Amino acid sequence: MKRVGLVTGAASGIGAAIAKALAEDGVTVMITDINEDAGRQMASDIGGAFVAADLSKQGDCKKAIDETAKVFGQLDILINNAGFQHIDPIPDFPEDQWDKLIAVMLTAPFLLTKYGWNYLIKSEQGRIVNLSSVHGVVASPFKVGYISAKHGQLGLTRTAALEGGEHGLTVNAVCPAYVRTPLVENQIADQARTRGISPEDVEQLVMLEPAAIKKLLDPTDIANYVVFLCSKAAWGITGSVQVIDLGWTAK
């Protein structure tokens, strides 16, 4: 029987790359995103389906799971990828942005896991992959909401892995360093303007300064690893933090 996967935030960037890679691996993919036009187009491109959802809302988290089950009758793979960043020092960090960051990047993965749990257990080879970040392992200044949410995802990952293990459900977190996505490209451009340096210098001297390999990751690098974690070959990997950080945390 063909497996079914739900990928959040899959209209672009890492989520889109994961959705494509899973589809190429034979998985039927339900895409959810707040961007309806891009999400529907991506679903059409990979022969999947789309459900519009604002994952900062509890009801929309449930809708994403319910719609997947309604359309396909099953759920075998859950990829919690949706997220965004807000950059400000702690004294200036807006409270509403804190609430939204935590809602989208920590509460939503919990709710999607909760609502999808029985389907994933029934699968007997269920897979959950939480897209965390190297900033789920280490911290940097001015990203308090993002970093707090990403650290929290690791606790969710480990707890769900312990509860799901007896049912064959694996739960893992992937923690990449900077990936060349539209979001990161915008960050590079913004920092180049504010620092008065070239985009190339932002990459090499700022973003890649802690890394051993001085090259931004590509979304397909993350997608290929996620596909492996969703495979039968990865049945014994659970509760793990898979760091793809170019050597950032090796020091």
170 has which bridge partners? 127
Using a 10 angstrom Cβ sphere, with 0-12 exposed, 13-18 middle and 19 or more buried, the burial of residue 251 is exposed
Residue with tokens 């920092």: 191
Cα(19)–Cα(50) distance, rounded to whole angstroms?
11
How far, in Å, CA of 52 to CA of 205, rounded? 39
Cβ–Cβ under 8 Å, residues 121 and 167: yes
225 carries an active-site annotation? no
The strands making up 127-131's β-sheet, listed across from edge to edge, are 49-52, 28-33, 4-8, 77-80, 127-131, 170-176, 241-244
The three-class DSSP label of residue 159 is: helix
Spot the catalytic one: 115, 146, 178, 225: 146
From 227, 225, 219, 224, select the one nearest 241 (Cα to Cα): 225
Residues in the chain: 251
Active-site residues, by number, are 146
